[in-house]
Amino acid sequence: MTSTAAPVREVVLISGISGSGKSVALHALEDAGWFCVDNLPPALLREFVRLEAAHAGSRVAVAVDVRNAAALPLLVPLIGELQAEGVKVRALFLDAATEALVRRFSETRRPHPLSAAVGAGGPAPALVDAIELERMLLAGLRDACTVLDTSALRPAQLRAWVRDLVGARGAPLTLVFESFAFRHGVPLDADFVFDVRVLPNPYYVRGLRPLTGRDAAVAAYLDAQPEAAEMLGQIEAFLRRWIGAFEDDQRSYLTVAIGCTGGQHRSVYLVEQLARRFADRGAPLVRHRELDMLD
Protein backbone atom coordinates (compact mmCIF):
# COMPACT_ATOMS: atom_id res chain seq x y z
CA MET A 1 0.00 0.00 0.00
CA THR A 2 1.33 3.43 -0.93
CA SER A 3 2.22 5.72 1.97
CA THR A 4 0.82 9.23 2.03
CA ALA A 5 1.42 12.31 4.14
CA ALA A 6 -2.22 12.60 5.15
CA PRO A 7 -1.85 11.36 8.79
CA VAL A 8 0.25 14.43 9.60
CA ARG A 9 -2.49 16.99 10.02
CA GLU A 10 -0.40 20.09 10.75
CA VAL A 11 2.95 21.34 9.52
CA VAL A 12 4.36 24.70 10.57
CA LEU A 13 7.02 25.98 8.21
CA ILE A 14 9.20 28.68 9.80
CA SER A 15 11.44 30.76 7.57
CA GLY A 16 12.67 34.31 7.55
CA ILE A 17 15.59 36.68 7.65
CA SER A 18 18.65 35.60 9.62
CA GLY A 19 18.56 37.16 13.08
CA SER A 20 14.78 37.57 13.09
CA GLY A 21 14.18 34.88 15.73
CA LYS A 22 13.59 31.59 13.89
CA SER A 23 15.34 29.57 16.60
CA VAL A 24 13.23 31.23 19.32
CA ALA A 25 10.06 30.44 17.38
CA LEU A 26 11.06 26.84 16.78
CA HIS A 27 11.91 26.30 20.45
CA ALA A 28 8.53 27.76 21.43
CA LEU A 29 6.77 25.11 19.36
CA GLU A 30 9.07 22.37 20.65
CA ASP A 31 8.17 23.35 24.22
CA ALA A 32 4.49 23.18 23.22
CA GLY A 33 4.83 19.56 22.12
CA TRP A 34 5.56 19.90 18.41
CA PHE A 35 8.15 17.67 16.72
CA CYS A 36 10.69 20.18 15.38
CA VAL A 37 13.53 20.05 12.87
CA ASP A 38 15.89 22.93 12.15
CA ASN A 39 17.40 23.73 8.74
CA LEU A 40 15.79 20.85 6.88
CA PRO A 41 16.64 20.94 3.14
CA PRO A 42 13.42 21.77 1.27
CA ALA A 43 13.85 18.77 -1.02
CA LEU A 44 13.46 16.50 2.02
CA LEU A 45 10.30 18.09 3.42
CA ARG A 46 7.83 15.71 1.76
CA GLU A 47 9.79 12.63 2.84
CA PHE A 48 10.10 14.01 6.36
CA VAL A 49 6.33 14.52 6.59
CA ARG A 50 5.74 10.99 5.32
CA LEU A 51 8.16 9.42 7.81
CA GLU A 52 6.77 11.45 10.70
CA ALA A 53 3.28 10.27 9.78
CA ALA A 54 4.46 6.69 10.12
CA HIS A 55 6.08 7.16 13.52
CA ALA A 56 5.36 9.91 16.00
CA GLY A 57 2.64 12.50 15.93
CA SER A 58 0.46 14.73 13.82
CA ARG A 59 2.10 18.12 14.48
CA VAL A 60 5.51 18.93 13.06
CA ALA A 61 7.45 22.17 12.68
CA VAL A 62 10.30 22.74 10.26
CA ALA A 63 12.66 25.71 10.06
CA VAL A 64 14.36 26.53 6.77
CA ASP A 65 16.70 29.39 5.99
CA VAL A 66 18.87 30.97 3.35
CA ARG A 67 21.62 28.37 3.78
CA ASN A 68 19.46 26.27 1.43
CA ALA A 69 18.86 29.19 -0.94
CA ALA A 70 19.18 27.15 -4.14
CA ALA A 71 16.32 24.86 -3.08
CA LEU A 72 14.01 27.50 -1.58
CA PRO A 73 11.99 27.94 -4.82
CA LEU A 74 10.75 24.36 -4.25
CA LEU A 75 8.94 25.39 -1.07
CA VAL A 76 6.14 27.52 -2.52
CA PRO A 77 4.71 24.80 -4.84
CA LEU A 78 5.37 22.16 -2.18
CA ILE A 79 3.21 24.04 0.32
CA GLY A 80 0.32 23.90 -2.16
CA GLU A 81 0.87 20.20 -2.85
CA LEU A 82 0.80 19.28 0.83
CA GLN A 83 -2.34 21.32 1.38
CA ALA A 84 -3.98 19.52 -1.55
CA GLU A 85 -3.21 16.22 0.22
CA GLY A 86 -5.07 17.35 3.33
CA VAL A 87 -2.11 18.57 5.36
CA LYS A 88 -2.69 21.86 7.19
CA VAL A 89 0.40 23.93 6.40
CA ARG A 90 1.05 27.17 8.30
CA ALA A 91 3.92 29.05 6.68
CA LEU A 92 5.41 31.78 8.90
CA PHE A 93 8.04 34.25 7.73
CA LEU A 94 9.90 36.15 10.45
CA ASP A 95 11.20 39.56 9.45
CA ALA A 96 12.77 42.56 11.16
CA ALA A 97 14.00 46.02 10.28
CA THR A 98 17.57 46.15 9.03
CA GLU A 99 18.65 48.33 11.98
CA ALA A 100 17.33 45.72 14.43
CA LEU A 101 19.12 42.92 12.59
CA VAL A 102 22.42 44.81 12.54
CA ARG A 103 22.11 45.42 16.28
CA ARG A 104 21.41 41.74 16.99
CA PHE A 105 24.34 40.51 14.92
CA SER A 106 26.60 43.08 16.58
CA GLU A 107 25.48 41.96 20.03
CA THR A 108 25.97 38.25 19.37
CA ARG A 109 29.10 38.75 17.21
CA ARG A 110 27.92 35.93 14.94
CA PRO A 111 28.58 36.17 11.18
CA HIS A 112 25.69 36.46 8.76
CA PRO A 113 25.24 33.27 6.67
CA LEU A 114 25.80 35.28 3.48
CA SER A 115 28.78 37.31 4.70
CA ALA A 116 31.13 35.49 2.35
CA ALA A 117 28.85 36.22 -0.61
CA VAL A 118 29.14 40.02 -0.39
CA GLY A 119 32.10 42.22 -1.10
CA ALA A 120 34.41 43.75 1.47
CA GLY A 121 33.89 47.25 2.77
CA GLY A 122 34.07 47.04 6.54
CA PRO A 123 31.96 45.01 8.98
CA ALA A 124 28.84 47.21 8.97
CA PRO A 125 28.52 47.71 5.20
CA ALA A 126 29.21 44.02 4.59
CA LEU A 127 26.51 43.01 7.07
CA VAL A 128 23.92 45.36 5.56
CA ASP A 129 24.75 44.06 2.08
CA ALA A 130 24.32 40.47 3.28
CA ILE A 131 20.92 41.31 4.81
CA GLU A 132 19.74 42.96 1.60
CA LEU A 133 20.94 40.01 -0.48
CA GLU A 134 19.04 37.66 1.81
CA ARG A 135 15.87 39.77 1.46
CA MET A 136 16.16 39.47 -2.31
CA LEU A 137 16.68 35.69 -2.22
CA LEU A 138 13.72 35.15 0.12
CA ALA A 139 11.30 37.63 -1.47
CA GLY A 140 9.27 34.95 -3.29
CA LEU A 141 8.92 32.81 -0.18
CA ARG A 142 7.98 35.83 1.95
CA ASP A 143 5.07 36.61 -0.37
CA ALA A 144 3.65 33.11 0.20
CA CYS A 145 3.83 33.26 4.02
CA THR A 146 2.26 34.98 6.98
CA VAL A 147 4.80 37.65 7.98
CA LEU A 148 5.64 38.34 11.61
CA ASP A 149 7.63 41.49 12.38
CA THR A 150 10.01 40.83 15.28
CA SER A 151 11.84 44.18 15.21
CA ALA A 152 10.54 45.36 18.59
CA LEU A 153 9.76 42.01 20.20
CA ARG A 154 11.42 40.46 23.20
CA PRO A 155 11.95 36.66 22.98
CA ALA A 156 9.07 36.05 25.41
CA GLN A 157 6.74 38.10 23.19
CA LEU A 158 7.84 36.25 20.08
CA ARG A 159 7.25 32.87 21.71
CA ALA A 160 3.74 33.91 22.78
CA TRP A 161 2.83 35.37 19.38
CA VAL A 162 4.02 32.27 17.52
CA ARG A 163 2.02 30.00 19.81
CA ASP A 164 -1.04 32.20 19.22
CA LEU A 165 -0.62 32.08 15.45
CA VAL A 166 -0.24 28.32 15.15
CA GLY A 167 -2.99 27.71 17.69
CA ALA A 168 -5.57 29.97 16.03
CA ARG A 169 -8.90 28.30 15.36
CA GLY A 170 -12.20 29.50 13.95
CA ALA A 171 -12.86 31.16 10.61
CA PRO A 172 -10.87 30.13 7.50
CA LEU A 173 -9.16 33.53 7.70
CA THR A 174 -7.85 34.57 11.10
CA LEU A 175 -7.99 38.28 11.88
CA VAL A 176 -5.08 39.77 13.80
CA PHE A 177 -5.61 43.19 15.39
CA GLU A 178 -2.43 44.94 16.56
CA SER A 179 -1.96 48.29 18.29
CA PHE A 180 1.32 50.15 17.94
CA ALA A 181 3.04 53.51 18.41
CA PHE A 182 4.05 55.38 15.27
CA ARG A 183 7.11 56.72 17.05
CA HIS A 184 8.44 53.15 17.22
CA GLY A 185 7.69 52.37 13.57
CA VAL A 186 4.92 50.69 11.59
CA PRO A 187 4.80 46.86 11.96
CA LEU A 188 6.31 45.15 8.91
CA ASP A 189 3.68 42.40 9.04
CA ALA A 190 0.67 44.73 8.73
CA ASP A 191 -1.72 44.15 5.82
CA PHE A 192 -3.70 47.31 6.67
CA VAL A 193 -2.56 50.29 8.74
CA PHE A 194 -5.00 52.80 10.23
CA ASP A 195 -3.74 56.05 11.76
CA VAL A 196 -5.95 57.10 14.69
CA ARG A 197 -3.81 59.99 15.92
CA VAL A 198 -6.56 62.39 14.78
CA LEU A 199 -8.84 61.20 17.60
CA PRO A 200 -9.01 63.01 20.98
CA ASN A 201 -6.11 61.82 23.11
CA PRO A 202 -6.84 60.53 26.65
CA TYR A 203 -3.17 61.16 27.45
CA TYR A 204 -4.03 64.81 27.98
CA VAL A 205 -6.93 64.09 30.35
CA ARG A 206 -6.05 64.23 34.03
CA GLY A 207 -6.35 60.79 35.56
CA LEU A 208 -6.31 58.89 32.25
CA ARG A 209 -2.63 59.33 31.36
CA PRO A 210 -1.30 56.32 33.37
CA LEU A 211 -4.12 54.06 32.12
CA THR A 212 -4.45 52.18 28.83
CA GLY A 213 -7.15 51.59 26.25
CA ARG A 214 -8.03 48.38 28.07
CA ASP A 215 -9.17 50.32 31.14
CA ALA A 216 -12.86 51.15 31.56
CA ALA A 217 -12.24 54.85 32.21
CA VAL A 218 -10.34 55.30 28.95
CA ALA A 219 -12.93 53.27 27.05
CA ALA A 220 -15.73 55.40 28.50
CA TYR A 221 -13.92 58.59 27.48
CA LEU A 222 -13.44 57.41 23.89
CA ASP A 223 -16.97 55.94 23.73
CA ALA A 224 -18.21 59.49 24.28
CA GLN A 225 -16.21 60.91 21.36
CA PRO A 226 -18.23 61.00 18.10
CA GLU A 227 -15.03 60.86 16.05
CA ALA A 228 -13.97 57.61 17.73
CA ALA A 229 -17.32 55.99 17.04
CA GLU A 230 -17.19 57.13 13.40
CA MET A 231 -13.63 55.88 12.92
CA LEU A 232 -14.48 52.53 14.49
CA GLY A 233 -17.56 52.08 12.34
CA GLN A 234 -15.75 52.95 9.12
CA ILE A 235 -12.87 50.56 9.82
CA GLU A 236 -15.35 47.78 10.62
CA ALA A 237 -17.33 48.44 7.43
CA PHE A 238 -14.18 48.45 5.32
CA LEU A 239 -12.96 45.14 6.73
CA ARG A 240 -16.34 43.43 6.41
CA ARG A 241 -16.50 44.57 2.78
CA TRP A 242 -13.14 43.02 1.87
CA ILE A 243 -12.60 40.03 4.19
CA GLY A 244 -14.38 37.72 1.77
CA ALA A 245 -11.99 38.68 -1.03
CA PHE A 246 -9.00 37.81 1.15
CA GLU A 247 -10.56 34.45 2.01
CA ASP A 248 -11.13 33.77 -1.67
CA ASP A 249 -7.44 34.53 -2.20
CA GLN A 250 -6.60 31.65 0.19
CA ARG A 251 -5.18 33.93 2.86
CA SER A 252 -4.78 32.40 6.32
CA TYR A 253 -4.23 35.62 8.30
CA LEU A 254 -5.09 39.28 7.87
CA THR A 255 -3.18 41.66 10.14
CA VAL A 256 -4.84 45.02 10.85
CA ALA A 257 -2.53 47.48 12.60
CA ILE A 258 -3.97 50.47 14.46
CA GLY A 259 -1.48 53.19 15.35
CA CYS A 260 -1.46 56.21 17.62
CA THR A 261 1.31 58.31 19.14
CA GLY A 262 2.26 56.17 22.13
CA GLY A 263 0.46 52.90 21.47
CA GLN A 264 -1.20 53.11 24.89
CA HIS A 265 -4.68 54.64 24.66
CA ARG A 266 -6.45 55.20 21.32
CA SER A 267 -4.94 52.37 19.28
CA VAL A 268 -5.38 49.91 22.15
CA TYR A 269 -9.01 50.94 22.57
CA LEU A 270 -9.82 50.48 18.87
CA VAL A 271 -8.09 47.09 18.73
CA GLU A 272 -10.11 45.86 21.71
CA GLN A 273 -13.34 47.17 20.21
CA LEU A 274 -12.66 45.67 16.78
CA ALA A 275 -11.83 42.29 18.33
CA ARG A 276 -15.22 42.29 20.06
CA ARG A 277 -17.05 43.32 16.89
CA PHE A 278 -15.44 40.57 14.83
CA ALA A 279 -15.88 37.82 17.45
CA ASP A 280 -18.60 36.41 15.20
CA ARG A 281 -15.83 35.21 12.87
CA GLY A 282 -14.03 33.17 15.51
CA ALA A 283 -11.71 34.62 18.13
CA PRO A 284 -9.43 37.25 16.53
CA LEU A 285 -5.84 37.46 17.73
CA VAL A 286 -5.13 40.63 19.71
CA ARG A 287 -1.66 42.16 20.02
CA HIS A 288 -0.63 45.32 21.80
CA ARG A 289 2.97 45.77 20.70
CA GLU A 290 3.97 48.50 23.11
CA LEU A 291 1.97 47.23 26.08
CA ASP A 292 3.16 43.64 25.58
CA MET A 293 6.74 44.87 25.84
CA LEU A 294 5.97 46.01 29.41
CA ASP A 295 4.31 42.77 30.57
Quick one: average pLDDT of 199-217? 96
* pLDDT over 60 at 291, yes or no: yes
* pLDDT over 90 at 224, yes or no: yes
Q: What is the pLDDT of residues 82-122, one digit of tens each?
A: 888 878 888 899 999 999 999 998 888 888 888 776 655 54
Q: Which residues have C-beta within 8 Å of that of residue 70, sequence separation ≥ 6? A: none
Domain ranges (residues) in the chain: 10-167, 174-292
Instruction: Specify the pLDDT at position 47.
Output: 81
Q: What is the pLDDT of residues 233-270, one digit of tens each?
A: 999 999 999 998 988 876 778 999 999 999 999 999 99
* pLDDT over 70 at 187, yes or no: yes
pLDDT confidence band for 171 (50 / 70 / 90): low
Instruction: Specify the pLDDT at position 4.
Output: 46
Instruction: Specify the pLDDT at position 6.
Output: 44
Nearest alpha-carbon partner for 90 in 18, 153, 167: 167
Instruction: Specify the pLDDT at position 125.
Output: 56
Mode of pairing for the β-strands spanning 35-38 and 59-63: parallel
Mean pLDDT taken over the chain: 86
Residue 152: how many CB atoms within 10 A of its CB? 19
Instruction: Specify the pLDDT at position 2.
Output: 41
The secondary structure of 217-267, three-state, reads HHHHHHHCCHHHHHHHHHHHHHHHHHHHHHHHCCCCEEEEEEEECCCCCHH
Instruction: Specify the pLDDT at position 111.
Output: 84
* pLDDT over 90 at 179, yes or no: yes
Instruction: Classify domain 10-167 at the CATH topology level.
Output: Rossmann fold (3.40.50)
Instruction: Specify the pLDDT at position 10.
Output: 82
pTM: 0.71
